[in-house]
A and B are shown apart, each in its own frame.
Chain A
Amino acid sequence: MKTENQKAWFFVLPVLILVAFNALIPMMTVVNYSVQETFGDNVFFWQGLDWFQQILRSDRFHAALGRQFMFTFLILIIEIPLGIAIALSMPRKGFWVPVCLVLMALPMLIPWNVVGAMWNIFTLPDIGLLGYFLNHVLGINYDMTQDPVAAWVTIVTMDVWHWTSLVVLLAYAGLVSIPDAYYQAAKIDGASNWSVFRFIQLPKMKTVLTIAILLRFMDSFNIYTEPFVLTGGGPGNSTTLLSIDLVKIALGQFDLGPAAAMSLIYFAITLLVSWLFYTVMTKDDQT
């Protein structure tokens, strides 16, 4: 049982100060910009909600948002089932377990722009391993700087390569926590592999899978560095995801007002969808 103790606030204080310094001040800056217009020299004019209306009505924002949802949807639909499948087929104990875990976790520890650069080198049409293989061995015309479909396939494959291991590790953590007695009972009852999965393994993985889906949603929705390094948002605008577009507006064109309004809308969408996911996934627990 937890005891009521208001002095516990003193323990939380350092965290509160540090996070507030980093979260509240920049957030207020963004809110400030989002309702003002400036022509430089630190002179600002009140603009009201004009920027928000402009962003919400702009085709450019709709297109970027659409691409972003498409990307995140593809990521979740591929990485979650794949991660579960790999976790299920991994050995539960023995010498190979740590070897598998270390090798699988490796992509997650590579700096994001190195991931982009690595995939760039890997997919170069004539001198990259994958590019050469596709173009000269299989005879498929593959060049992601020209073909939007190829660019999409490449950034999705790159993300699957980069982050599926997170789902594997989480699902695996859930699986090893299932006591052997459950499997023995299932065996006595003559349960099929599918029923073992459906009625024992899946329910036991529910918490970790909720975490996996939430983390994958948030991170793929906020992704910036890897696709930027790999494709630069191109060809054309075909892989310009939300963050890439935002950075273009804020730091490229220095349109602070629209960029700030877009930031707030962006953050609000992330929060809203995360909250919806969380509520739906944990609904059964509360009833």
Chain B
Amino acid sequence: MKKRTIVPIVYILFLMLPIYWLVAMSFKTTNEILSGFSLFPQTFTLDNYKTIFTDPSWYWGYINSIAYVSINTVISIAVALPAAYAFSRYRFLGDKQLFFWLLTNRMAPAAVFALPFFQLYSAVELFDTYLAVALAHCLFNIPLSVWILEGFMGGIPKELDETAYVDGYSFPRFFATIFIPSIKAGVGVAAFFCFMFSWVELLLAKTLTAVAAKPIAATMTKTASSAGYELGLLAAAGTLTIIPGAIVIYFVRNYIAKGFAMGRV
């Protein structure tokens, strides 16, 4: 029994090593990084973080990223809830085909869409806005949300709907005050996945923005190429992008595994 616990420990160590290195780098001065190898920061410095928090072109990157990720999550969940309800409760013309078609969009290579997306969002004059990135990410997040939510709704007995109807609840009131609270774990998991995809995706986000809505991740690629080897700064920016994910995952830790299992293929 005890021998088995070695495996997860070794695996987690393997996962933490590159992250440790990134964090360690972020506390080193450029001089120390370039002068040679050191396992721990010798001249501990917070300058890299100070640069990021005082330079608008850096910290606006974070604000932009968080803005379009939030908008995307809200839109995705808001439209996916009624759709998932329809798929889980009713049969209607073309329901299976529609469900499958939605999922095929999850399979589309983002690289295929980069250029047409640029043209589409330029044509509707949304280029370089939060809304453009948020809407573009909907292509991948809505199908996933519908899929996850439908799985959770399938676990709620239909009697709940009928009882509420008999008790004289109108549909919107039933949906908002009884149904959604009873699948709030599912909403949490779906929101988590929307957040996750929108936060980590870069190709589309970068293609659809120039200055005003540029994501933090794109700011990093620019710095890496233009400012030469400012590794410490890059590492500090990278470290800061891990934090929102870590916070979000902490909140849904008890539901992640369940969220996967309840979806159906």
Interface positions of A (Cβ within 8 A of B): 1-9, 11-12, 14-16, 18-19, 21-23, 25-27, 29-30, 85-86, 89-91, 98, 100-114, 117-119, 121-122, 126-130, 132, 136, 161, 164-165, 168-170, 172-174, 176-177, 207-208, 210-211, 214, 218, 221-222, 224-225, 229, 242-243, 246-247, 250-251, 256, 259, 263, 266-267, 270-271, 274, 278, 282
Contact = CB atoms under 8 A, between A and B. Distances in A.
Interface in B54-106: 75, 78-80, 82-83, 85-87, 89-93, 95, 98, 102, 104-106
Contact of B21 (A18, A22, A101, A129): A129
Interface in B230-259: 231, 234-235, 238, 241-242, 244-246, 248-250, 253-254, 256-258
B220 A117 contact: yes
Contacts of A19: 102, 105, 138-139, 142-143
B115 A259 contact: yes
B257 A12 contact: no
Contacts of B21: 118, 121-122, 128-129
Contacts of A211: 260, 263, 265
30 contacts: A6-B92, A8-B86, A14-B82, A18-B142, A19-B143, A22-B136, A30-B112, A89-B4, A90-B8, A91-B5, A102-B250, A102-B253, A106-B246, A111-B199, A111-B202, A111-B216, A113-B221, A114-B242, A126-B36, A127-B33, A132-B37, A169-B256, A170-B260, A207-B265, A210-B265, A211-B265, A218-B106, A243-B109, A243-B110, A266-B112
Interface string B11-33: 11011111111100100000001
Contacts of A229: 221
B116 interface: yes
Contact of A29 (B18, B78, B107, B120): B120
B83 A119 contact: no
Contact of B242 (A1, A14, A109, A243): A109
Interface of B: 4-8, 11-12, 14-22, 25, 33-34, 36-37, 39, 75, 78-80, 82-83, 85-87, 89-93, 95, 98, 102, 104-117, 119-120, 135-136, 138-139, 142-143, 146, 158, 196, 199-203, 216-217, 220-221, 224, 231, 234-235, 238, 241-242, 244-246, 248-250, 253-254, 256-258, 260-261, 263-265
